[in-house]
């Protein structure tokens, strides 16, 4: 059965605001139907890493906050701490980064709550009984909320091909231990011929798993599989066997998403911005030239359908030759150009198989 995905483009008539278009989209998609008076409404988003500018602007978030309040809900903005070193690995740094990026109460009109607490240990085990996990460790604030609305930003991702709603929910709301479980199959290897022993990976590794002994050496016992070293190495000397391991990670993200949504049937809604589609994740302290022009905003009650629709819109759009796609900008699958060894469809096909939603959708343009 196909699901409804509502879409509004970034094209406007003079005098019209994108904020108004977003409001119409949310209402038309029926996302506010999930809210009853006094409901605690978690709005899951990514506050942006320090230095990254591709995240969704707080002014858009404010519009959703205002709509939730009009329905009588009590909204709060939330995300869980990250696994890697960076500016969001504990609640203090995370909140400071969020405020620096514009998510201050005076702008967004709602408090910020870090879902898994001060140091990522405040989680709730949710039983799922699936292939990889019997239970999953979700940030407690998200579990305890009555309603969960997610605002996602679609972009490329080196481990999953693209990151959208599923990744925002499953990985994003996993506690630190939960994130570790999802990453645990990623085992990086150093190509000693390429390594120049600069030590950048040593400084970035959150598990102190790398030492320089002539060349970089990774302790497989200490490594937590965060994959940060693969992107911080300037020589691209560290690689992961994405072909098999990325498939498993995508399945794990889908299983975590089941845990995030469990008990909230009819109390969830998803919004995805297909704008500033950077080739890599917003977790890095930079963002690169977008691979396509700004396309629009999607809204749906189906987390699989909204991801499938977002990727399809990107693949149907003209690729930007000035982006990382380069001369291959005209190829039909832009994410396979960026990450040739990652089959991004796994997260959607497996998610569909375990009941998260449908890859078949009807795109309703408003």
For residues 344 and 307, is the Cβ–Cβ distance under 8 A?
Answer: no
> Contact with ligand SF4 (CB under 6 A): which of 19, 53, 196, 366?
196
Q: Does 224 bind ligand SF4 (CB under 6 A)?
A: yes
- Give 223 or 338: the residue with its C-beta nearer to ligand SF4: 223
Beta strands in 205-307 (DSSP E): 210-213, 215-218, 238-240, 268-274, 296-300
To ligand SF4, the closest distance from the beta carbon of 205 in angstroms equals 3
Residues in 31-60 that interact with ligand SF4 by CB under 6 A = none
Which region, judged by CB under 6 A, interacts with ligand SF4, from 156-164, 172-180, 215-223, 261-269?
215-223
Q: List the one residue out of 246, 189, 198 whose CA is nearest residue 223.
A: 189
Q: How far apart are CA 113 and CA 173, in angstroms?
A: 12
DSSP string, 4-38: EEEEEES---TT--HHHHHHHHHHHTTGGGG--TT
Residues in 147-186 that interact with ligand SF4 by CB under 6 A = none
């390594």: which residue's tokens? 195
Q: Does 246 bind ligand SF4 (CB under 6 A)?
A: no
Residue 228 DSSP SS3: helix
To ligand SF4, the closest distance from the beta carbon of 4 in angstroms equals 39
> Contact with ligand SF4 (CB under 6 A): which of 61, 171, 209, 254?
209
Q: How far apart are CA 254 and CA 128, in angstroms?
A: 11
> Contact with ligand SF4 (CB under 6 A): which of 146, 185, 235, 288?
235
Cα four-point dihedral sign 266, 303, 176, 45 = negative
DSSP string, 129-145: --SS-SEEEEEHHHHH-
To ligand SF4, the closest distance from the beta carbon of 339 in angstroms equals 17
To ligand SF4, the closest distance from the beta carbon of 223 in angstroms equals 3
Which region, judged by CB under 6 A, interacts with ligand SF4, from 46-54, 128-136, 209-217, 283-291?
209-217
Q: Does 238 bind ligand SF4 (CB under 6 A)?
A: yes
Contacts for 187 with CB less than 8 Å, ≥ 6 apart:
220, 223, 225, 240, 241, 245
- Give 235 or 312: the residue with its C-beta nearer to ligand SF4: 235
To ligand SF4, the closest distance from the beta carbon of 284 in angstroms equals 13
Angle formed at CA 260 by CA 26 and CA 299, multiple of 5 degrees = 15
Residue numbers of the site for ligand SF4 (CB under 6 A)?
Answer: 188, 190, 195-201, 205-207, 209-210, 216, 218, 223-229, 233, 235, 237-238
């Amino acid at each position: 059965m196909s699901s409804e995905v509502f879409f509004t483009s970034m094209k406007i008539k003079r005098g019209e605001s994108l904020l108004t278009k977003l409001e119409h989209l949310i209402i038309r998609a029926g996302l506010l139907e999930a809210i009853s008076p006094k409901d605690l409404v978690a709005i899951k988003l990514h506050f942006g890493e320090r230095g990254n500018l591709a995240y969704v602007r707080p002014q858009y978030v404010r519009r959703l906050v205002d709509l939730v309040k009009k329905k009588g809900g009590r909204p709060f903005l939330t995300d869980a701490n990250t696994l890697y070193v960076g500016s969001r690995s504990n609640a203090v740094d995370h909140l400071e980064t969020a405020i620096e990026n514009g998510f201050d109460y005076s702008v967004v009109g709602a408090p910020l709550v870090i879902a898994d607490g001060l140091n990522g240990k405040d989680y709730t085990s949710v039983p799922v009984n699936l292939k990889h996990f019997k239970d999953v460790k979700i940030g407690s604030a998200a579990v305890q909320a009555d309603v969960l609305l997610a605002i996602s930003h679609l972009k490329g991702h080196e481990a999953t091909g693209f990151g959208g709603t599923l990744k925002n929910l499953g990985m994003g709301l996993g506690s630190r231990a939960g994130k570790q479980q999802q990453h645990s199959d990623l085992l990086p290897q150093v190509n000693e011929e390429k390594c120049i022993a600069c030590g950048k990976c040593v400084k970035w590794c959150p598990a102190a798993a790398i030492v320089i002994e002539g060349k970089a050496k990774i302790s497989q016992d200490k490594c937590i599989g965060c994959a940060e070293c693969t992107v911080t190495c300037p020589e691209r000397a560290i690689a992961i066997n994405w072909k098999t391991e990325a498939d498993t990670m995508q399945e794990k993200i889908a299983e975590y998403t089941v845990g995030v949504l469990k008990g909230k049937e009819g109390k969830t809604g998803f919004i995805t911005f297909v704008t500033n589609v950077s080739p890599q994740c917003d977790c890095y302290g930079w963002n690169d030239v977008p691979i396509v022009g700004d396309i629009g905003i999607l809204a749906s009650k189906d987390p699989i359908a909204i991801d499938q629709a977002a990727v399809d819109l990107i693949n149907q759009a003209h690729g930007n030759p000035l982006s990382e796609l380069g001369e291959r900008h005209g190829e039909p699958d832009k994410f396979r150009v960026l990450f040739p060894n990652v089959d991004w469809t796994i997260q959607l096909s497996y998610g569909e198989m375990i009941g998260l939603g449908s890859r078949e959708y009807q795109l309703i343009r408003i």
